Structure 1
């Protein structure tokens, strides 16, 4: 099942929290490249943790951050209408609260 996405496509909702989606303006090639970089960096984080290598862990976490910024999931927002970034906020504390509540009520049949 795909995660729930806000009507404007800016966020995924996971356990009641907003997470910024990938910039839809990226080319398929650029997105694929960045996703590969992200997966490589995440594997490097795991390896660094396994070997308790703090220097490698720091480098790997920076690589994760760089890939996520390239994808538009962190850093400056990818939309241009001036709306604020609600990344990592609980849905109930954002302008999406009413929509989410209405969606949740409809989704469980209540």
Structure 2
């Protein structure tokens, strides 16, 4: 699997033309890893809840995924401080990254 392209400012990766917010680079490596571990466990819980058709467990597991992503900075308040808007989930071609994305060759 190849590594997805990263926007020049390091805020997003691009997957199938869509921007996805990256983790906060200011997190200490051990803190980041702790949140990643929590996220992976929560994703396993989602898979298990889906397999068992347990709606209550699924809701709880999805809430844990969301909380871990907020802790990582991938959701919730943005981690940058320059006032730039959050373009998470926008198509790169429809954002200020459009020119960069067109040059990147994966558009």
**What TM-score, normalized to structure 1?**
0.93
Q: Partner of 1:4: helix, strand, or coil?
A: coil
Aligned position for 1:82: 83
Question: For 1:51 and 1:5, how far apart are their aligned partners in 2?
Answer: 37
Compute the displacement of 1:94 (Å).
0.3
Mark the runs of 5 or more structure 1 residues left unpaired by the alignment.
none
Question: For 2:15 and 2:52, how far apart are their aligned partners in 1?
Answer: 30
Mark the runs of 5 or more structure 2 residues left unpaired by the alignment.
none
CA RMSD of aligned residues (A): 0.8
Question: For 1:103 and 1:58, how far apart are their aligned partners in 2?
Answer: 38
Which portions of structure 1, spanning 4 or more consecutive aligned residues, are displaced by more than 4 angstroms?
none
**What TM-score, normalized to structure 2?**
0.96
Question: For 2:58 and 2:29, how far apart are their aligned partners in 1?
Answer: 29
- Deviations along 1:64-87, one digit per CA (max 9) or x if unpaired, are 000000000000000000000000
Structure number with larger C-alpha Rg = 1
